[in-house]
Structure 1
Amino acid sequence: MQIRMDKENRELKAHGSYEFPVNISYEQLSRYERGSFSWHWHPEIELTFVLSGQIGYQVNGKSYVLKEGDGIFCNTNALHSGHMIDGMDCVYISTTFAPRFLYGFSNSVIQTRYVEPVLTDMQLASIVFSPEIDWQNQVLACMHRIYDLSLSQPSAFEMEIQGLLLSIWIEIYRHASFSGESQNTAAARDVERLRILLDYIHRHYMEHLTLEDLAAQIHICRSECCRFFKKCMNESLFDYLLDYRIEKSLPLLLERQASITSVAEQTGFSSPAYFSKIFRQQMGCSPSEYRNRADHT
């Protein structure tokens, strides 16, 4: 399994409905082929509560390790991804909701005074919640209660969920450290540059890509492009490209309709031998062994 995205890395999954724009789901990293979900974004706000294990969580240029009982707020349109730590599974609750669910109608006092300042502050792309801090523990309790309500669905549960989300928002607003950095600042420019690079890689990974190609997308020199990507992603451009190509090869191998040579070509590797070498380094087995193991599970 992997997150379905459009060409701009926007998640395609429906996050609730127009009438009730909230989606609450029980998630496990082990459900993803490599124990991780790819960089993506969506206009909805996302709240994540860790039930067991740990998760490495990245939002824009920041990295976190969340353990059992922790939570995180991921702001609208923020780039984010997650992965296992030391190969151990993580179980978590994901709650995504449209900002309008909080404020009701455009230009209301709730929207302009309390919601928009959080949504548009680049330094509030993410907030980690710890049970050791009183107000954050209250937020975490609300997040868990929302999940319980989604399962039991008692009378008026939708209204109670809305009330809990508003309670969470009040705590975020009261305790947030507003930087005043709007989406027109250098930080916003860097996030947009990163989106452009990821988008280009995700659309052209099957082709022969050069550093010149990538740097040209954001109009900077090759060395600056490498430094920028490393700063934002904590890995090199080349390593990310190889990792993404391996990820895209997995469903092709499981379909069994293409030879190993064809899979290598379709995912941008220069030769089957190089594909097999990188695959073994990352997956701990050869492409053929991975395909055969899937037949026995």
Structure 2
Amino acid sequence: MEKELILMYARQSRYTPADWHSTMHSHYFTEVLLVTEGVGELQLTDRAIPLRPGTGVVVNPYVLHTEHSSKKSPLAYLVFGVDRMRLADLQAAELDVVSFRDDHHTFRPLLDFMVQEYTDRATDSAIVLNHMVTAVMTVIARDRWQMLPADSAQVPRDAQMLKDYLDAHFKEHLTLADLAFILHLDKFHLIKIFRESFGDTPMNYVLTRRLAESMTLLRTTDYAIGQIAEIAGFESQSYFNQVFKAKINVSPSLYRRLAHASAHALQET
């Protein structure tokens, strides 16, 4: 990495039932969190990562995720956003999320300082914070992962416009021809710029968003499987079952039972 990284924010988050909304979301920048108290899970589209004190997680740009907390042992963590980078393994393979441990309390005082500096907004705090976040990410990544440039400013306007449209309309029936007509762009151009910007095809991204929505509904509602398939935008329950099992490795009904069991175990913790 030749460029200095840019800190987007640094803050402390704590679970409170009134204002904690566990909905799947993503960021155009990398997000890093370090658990300080409590028990929970980081939910991805295909798995959940246990969160305990000392657990650190780096979430790469555009990776769908959310956090769940135990009510008996509420989750608290330090979190910051960092622009201009993403993590890859040492062979430069794509990653969605990586975990690390802070068992020797290396990162906690650094993140505490970053949160305080970001909150105080003292003279030249941006310079201090950008230097600090560059150093922290270098320590996290060294000998294990590779920091690659991912400057959000380089995302083409057409690619961002397409992503914004897909995020707003993924539950609807969509084809590449529809998207090309609506956005007044060639469909092959759409495929090319979307893959170059976000590492995926537009239609696969739609499928990922539909799966994420269905997983949220399976965890949080009592809707029938067929209703969930329809709400999330799948053309039929049988197709939903087929895709869900292929991508998530379990059926929707089994996922619901496992998610409920996991949520119950969190509340008992």
TM class by smaller structure: 0.5 to 0.7
Aligned residues: 188
Q: 1:26 aligns with which of 34, 37, 46?
A: 34
Seen in structure 2, the aligned counterparts of structure 1 residues 157 and 199 have a Cα distance that, compared at 3 Å, is: closer
Query: For residue 2 of structure 1, what is the amino acid of its counterpart?
Result: T
Greater RCO (CA < 8 Å, at least 6 residues apart): 2
Q: In 1, are the aligned partners of 2:180 and 2:187 still within 8 Å (CA)?
A: yes
Deviations 1:271-293 (A, max 9, x none): 10110111111211000001111
Tell me, yes or no, if structure 1 residue 205 matches structure 2 residue 170.
yes
Distance 1:150 1:126 in 2: 18
C-alpha RMSD over aligned residues: 4.6
SS of 1:31's equivalent in the other structure is strand
Q: Residue 166 in 1 paired to residue 151 in 2?
A: no
- Please point out which of 160, 184, 187 is paired with 1:219: 184
- Specify the alignment match of 1:20 in structure 2: none
SS of aligned partner of 1:262 = helix
Match of 1:95 in 2: 80
Runs of at least 5 residues in structure 1 that lack an aligned partner in the other structure = 12-23, 38-50, 59-79, 84-91, 98-124, 130-141, 173-180
Q: 1:242 matched to which residue of 2? A: 207
Tell me the residue number matched to 2:159: 194
In 1, Cα distance between equivalents of 2:195 and 2:86:
23
Q: Which residue of 1 aligns with 2:73?
A: none
CA displacement 1:52-97 (0-9 Å, x = unmatched)? 6774623xxxxxxxxxxxxxxxxxxxxx5477xxxxxxxx952359
Which runs of 5 or more residues in structure 2 are unaligned?
1-21, 49-53, 66-76, 88-105, 134-150, 263-269
Is contact 1:229–1:236 with CA below 8 Å preserved after alignment? yes
Bigger Rg, structure 1 or 2: 1
Letter in 2 for 1:246: L
Matched, 1:257 2:260: no
- Asked if 1:126 is matched to 2:137, the reply is no
* Percent identical residues: 22
Q: How high is the TM-score relative to the length of structure 1?
A: 0.49
Higher strand proportion (structure 1 or 2): 2
Judged with a 3 Å threshold, the aligned counterparts in structure 2 of structure 1 residues 210 and 55 are, in CA distance, closer, same or farther, namely: same
**What TM-score comes out, normalization by structure 2 length?**
0.53
1:19-39 per-residue CA deviation (whole Å, 9 max, x = no partner) reads: xxxxx96359942243789xx
